[in-house]
Structure 1
Amino acid sequence: MSSAHLPACAGLGFKPQHFADILADDFSGFLEVHAENHMGAGGPPHAMLTRLRRDHALSIHGVGLSIGGASALDKEHLRRLRTLCDRYEPESFSEHLAWSSHGETFLNDLLPLPYTAETLARVCAHVDETQDALGRRMLLENPATYVTFAESDVPETEFLAEIARRTGCGLLLDVNNVFVSATNHGFLAQGYLADFPLHAVGEIHLGGHDAQEDETGAPLLIDAHGAQVVDPVWALYADVVARLGPTPTLVEWDNDVPAWAILRAEADRADAILARAARRPAA
């Protein structure tokens, strides 16, 4: 089973409007694409990605597999994922601890699931099936959530740790998701990260969010990927890499996408934090 690794530097999500800027830049970080945007047989998306793959490590990030769903995994979706991974041989493939489909209905969202023994068994079976189908180790990302379930009886960090233990998959730690969920549900992000199974982390995500209020006036954060990373998330990230050591880090920006120079500045900020971590031993 393939277990390639991304370089321990900052990466950025590839958007077609930045193709010429990337070619003209000296950016040496990795690039990430959403799998579902490259499942066609050809055309400009593949032409651009083929060119960029010559110079950059690649992360393929799935958003539609519905790992946490009650239904069986879509075999055709898995087949297309395998074709894509075989074509580009990415250093990383990742998906979300979430569900997005029910039967033949696709909901175009990453929805939460209860953390129970039954759900754990189902998610582990789906992770095993995905890794077997792709012939590679995958990473599973912690979610940003807006509701919790009364029947959940396993803390999220323990749930993720047990998935990694049972399946051998790695974890993708999204620090912004931790901050969003902590704010929405009123727990401490630092406490969550203290309990997170960092030994299984193969990649980190950073991103921006929208700050709103719910009907009671309480803060409500939405993981929108449409703004710069906020200072509290940068501080949490610095704490994580101080403990973990330099780790591949993607800055996500999927909506209201700015000029390449703004994205590059976010990646440079992450690289500066990684460089400081490299100068001292991980805790």
Structure 2
Amino acid sequence: MNIGIGWRQPHYRALLQQRPALQFIEVHSENFFADGGAALAVLAEGRAAYPVSLHGVGLGLGSAAGLDDWHLDRLAALVQRIEPLRVSDHASFARAPLAEGAAPVHGSDLLPIAFTPAALDILVANVQRVQERLRRPILVENISAYLGWAQPPGSAPALPEAEFFNALVRRSGCQLLLDVNNLVVNALNAGTEPLATASAFIDALAPGSVGEIHLAGYACTPDLVIDDHGSRVHAPVWAAYAHALRRLGTVPTLIEWDTDLPALEVLLDEATQAARWQRDLAPADRQASAQPAASAA
């Protein structure tokens, strides 16, 4: 099995004391950009106990304004310091000038990109710059999006989202961080059948393109389904995950929980369920060839 959980501040001490049998833990990169301090000291303890995956939310890989040099320098320093198992961020934009000629500002959100050839060129260039700076491939996550982009008349048509990501992987050498919860959230908001929609996306991905899977909970409001990472994984997401395992094999899988954090035992129970799905559904030949799990003992 190859399962991890997002390691958030309320669970720092409990995880280090209990040392549950996880194959990795994941933290948000930006929380550890300082050169020292308590947070970085705790991360060093976590890294001594488990392989660590760095998951960023601020690079803005799809930004036409380019990347922030300071942000990339801090990420590179953190990567060098802790030697993470994986580094990832999102297929989104975050940086843009407020006025012509002004310096770009950060929107503090994961804003959706258009799946056009022009947007692909921008994303590929930014991903390649990050990989050259870090001297390693990164993973790029598909996001939950609550709006889309209308194509101007006469412009190149948008690509299907899975085809867009296949091209990104092929051209940049990165891998995909497949967020199954985001696939289901987008399907529910679009009014399509979530399992069928998520399965079609998964089936369209190129073999070997997925380096990690994320699972999380979502919140339902009268008007919108929100990717809030604030509850247990919902049944449609587990069903789509089962399909992903049959299709992709044993891909390292993370349980994300970022709001309304429960006791650590609840996250570990979700991780146990994911491990059970992996054991029962991933094809045996792909299990045998999957990356071996690191010991957490």
Does TM, normalized by the shorter one, top 0.5? yes
Distance 1:252 1:133 in 2: 27
Pairing partner for 2:270 from 245, 266, 269: 266
Q: Determine if the alignment matches structure 1 residue 70 to structure 2 residue 60.
A: no
Q: Determine if the alignment matches structure 1 residue 95 to structure 2 residue 89.
A: yes
Contact 2:66/2:95 (<8 A) preserved: no
The change in CA–CA distance for 1:279 and 1:185 in structure 2 (over 3 A counts) is closer
Bigger shift: 235-244 or 86-95? Answer: 235-244
Distance 2:108 2:149 in 1: 21
Q: In the TM superposition, what is the alpha-carbon distance from 1:96 to its structure 2 partner?
A: 0.2
Q: In the TM superposition, what is the alpha-carbon distance from 1:141 to its structure 2 partner?
A: 0.4
- For 1:238, the aligned partner's letter is A
The residue correspondences of 1:18-33 to structure 2 (distance < 5 A) are 18-29=11-22, 30-33=24-27
Q: Determine if the alignment matches structure 1 residue 226 to structure 2 residue 227.
A: no
Distance 1:268 1:238 in 2: 14
After superposition, give the CA deviation of every residue in 1:76-98 in whole Å (9 maximum; x if it has no partner).
11111100000000010001000
After superposition, give the CA deviation of every residue in 1:47-83 in whole Å (9 maximum; x if it has no partner).
1110111110110001000001110211111111100
Paired residue total:
271
Name the counterpart of 1:112. 112
Q: Determine if the alignment matches structure 1 residue 185 to structure 2 residue 190.
A: yes
Cα root mean square deviation, aligned: 1.6
Q: In the TM superposition, what is the alpha-carbon distance from 1:28 to its structure 2 partner?
A: 2.6
Name the counterpart of 2:9. 16
- For 2:41, the aligned partner's letter is A
SS at match of 1:137: coil
Distance 1:60 1:114 in 2: 26
Distance 1:57 1:211 in 2: 34
Distance 1:258 1:12 in 2: 13
Q: In the TM superposition, what is the alpha-carbon distance from 1:279 to its structure 2 partner?
A: 6.4
Name the counterpart of 1:80. 74
Q: In the TM superposition, what is the alpha-carbon distance from 1:169 to its structure 2 partner?
A: 0.4
SS at match of 2:80: helix
The change in CA–CA distance for 1:279 and 1:26 in structure 2 (over 3 A counts) is farther
Name the counterpart of 1:247. 251
Q: In the TM superposition, what is the alpha-carbon distance from 1:196 to its structure 2 partner?
A: 2.6
Distance 2:216 2:95 in 1: 25
Contact 1:243/1:282 (<8 A) preserved: no
Distance 2:2 2:116 in 1: 35
Name the counterpart of 1:196. 205
- For 2:87, the aligned partner's letter is F
Bigger shift: 21-30 or 120-129? Answer: 21-30
- For 1:173, the aligned partner's letter is L
Pairing partner for 1:213 from 219, 222, 225: 222
Between the aligned residues of both structures, percent identity stands at 40
Distance 2:207 2:107 in 1: 31
Q: In the TM superposition, what is the alpha-carbon distance from 1:121 to its structure 2 partner?
A: 0.6
Q: Determine if the alignment matches structure 1 residue 166 to structure 2 residue 159.
A: no
Bigger shift: 188-197 or 13-22? Answer: 188-197
- For 1:241, the aligned partner's letter is L
- For 1:28, the aligned partner's letter is A
Contact 2:55/2:87 (<8 A) preserved: yes
Contact 1:242/1:282 (<8 A) preserved: no
- For 1:169, the aligned partner's letter is C
Any gaps of 5 or more consecutive residues in structure 1? 1-7, 215-219
**Structure 1-normalised TM-score?**
0.92
- For 1:105, the aligned partner's letter is V
**Structure 2-normalised TM-score?**
0.87
Contact 1:28/1:56 (<8 A) preserved: no
Name the counterpart of 2:292. none
- For 1:199, the aligned partner's letter is G
Q: In the TM superposition, what is the alpha-carbon distance from 1:239 to its structure 2 partner?
A: 1.3
SS at match of 2:63: coil
Contact 1:226/1:254 (<8 A) preserved: yes
Distance 1:279 1:96 in 2: 28
